[in-house]
Structure 1
């Protein structure tokens, strides 16, 4: 009997270990793993791909130009995190502008592309209440202004530059989710730093006063042409001086017979003969 007691005690201890200790250890392990999973950091969402959004919204040609310009692409991607509002020209607008775009240098192309975005997130309602000049991603201090002016007439949002006589109009909203907004415009924005400014139109000439109309009484009447007197010639050509006229009269009275007296002589002679 004494030999069996230790065996029974050992069996009882093993039983307790299986029934009590193992579940507690398993629970502790699962609890520790749960806490570890809860503490694992959640990866932040990836920033939106601004060129991909432009392509889907009808600005595929403009997005392609941005992707081909390393400086412009990196500036757009960096601006996404801090907030950006882009104005992408439609494919038709870019197609008609390509001859002018090809004449620009690499730096000029990058500046033109960055001129189409401002480093601030604007909703469409915010744009409608923001009339005035705005800095763009191409702005670089006072040396490179690269500003455009937002103008609103009613519900229409327009963008004007000094290098173009017509404003570009916002046609549609491509994407609007803080911190990125993209709007499609119907023309390429031309910065005055790269293109000649538009000359101001010459003022219209002053209206000329109409000549007075003839009255109803004189309407249709014809007037003889007015004679303009010639300038007077020398006095000797027009008439003899006054003193010469007086002398001529004296000579006629003194030596010249009177015409009436001479006519009466034949009548007197005829009467005497009868």
Structure 2
């Protein structure tokens, strides 16, 4: 009787363990934790380019900057630089270039003409220095002033020359050349034919060198003095002639007096 109880107890334990083992094997595995896909960070917005600040600190461009602000062309340049994909290229004359500009004078221009002249100093695209070699083969290039306001470029062994019709100049240095803004210094104000016409005044001839007389103690002066000494000989010869005439007149009078005494 006791043996049968032990056998029943062991059978029950084995059955229970088997059931537990089967339940664990049949139960589905727990789902793996889903890793969230990272959201890509938005591209940083391009930095705002302040043209007023660049021109104010880069060099002696105060006159050009004053014209930019007085004509409100600075707003057009800022919009082209920061709100377009093409960018902008600006040619900036130094203050000395405006001081040297005597004819024609910018003071005689109307407000619209002055605005067009300042717009004439920019291209509606970013150009690095290496790009001007291709521009030189394309012929006239339109500026921000419009289709009739064009510039011709020539790349001469790395030196970029500009021809506006009235003025010919060259790029002397790169003030700023990072896409989307390129600023280049030029040594003359760009004057368009669309405003000033084609009657370009001739270049004035150089003034003749002053005739400086040599000092008195120089050999040239001495030679002049020695050369001028023969001019005094006529006065000496005339005095000799007067003396000779006086002697002959006295002899004639003495002869006449002797003849009178004889008769």
Normalising by structure 2, report the TM-score. Answer: 0.54
Partner of residue 153 from structure 1, selected from 134, 150, 156: 156
Aligned to 1:111: 116
Aligned to 2:220: none
Query: 1:121 and 2:122 equivalent?
Result: no
Any stretches of 5+ residues in structure 2 without a counterpart? 1-37, 203-263
SS in 2 for 1:193: helix
Q: State the distance in 1 between where 2:42 and 2:155 align.
A: 46
Q: State the distance in 1 between where 2:65 and 2:131 align.
A: 24
Aligned to 2:184: 183
Partner of residue 87 from structure 1, selected from 71, 87, 91: 91
Q: After TM superposition, give the deviation of residue 44 of structure 1 in Å.
A: 3.0
Aligned to 2:218: none
Any stretches of 5+ residues in structure 1 without a counterpart? 1-34, 202-274
Answer yes or no: is the 8 Å Cα contact 1:51–1:66 preserved in 2. no
Query: 1:130 and 2:135 equivalent?
Result: yes
Q: Which runs of 4+ in 1 moved over 4 A?
A: 38-43, 198-201
SS in 2 for 1:97: coil
Q: State the distance in 2 between where 1:93 and 1:134 align.
A: 23
Q: After TM superposition, give the deviation of residue 97 of structure 1 in Å.
A: 2.7
Q: State the distance in 1 between where 2:56 and 2:199 align.
A: 31
Cα pair distance change 1:182/1:199, threshold 3 Å = closer
Superposed CA RMSD: 2.5
Normalising by structure 1, report the TM-score. Answer: 0.52
Aligned to 2:222: none
Cα pair distance change 1:110/1:200, threshold 3 Å = closer
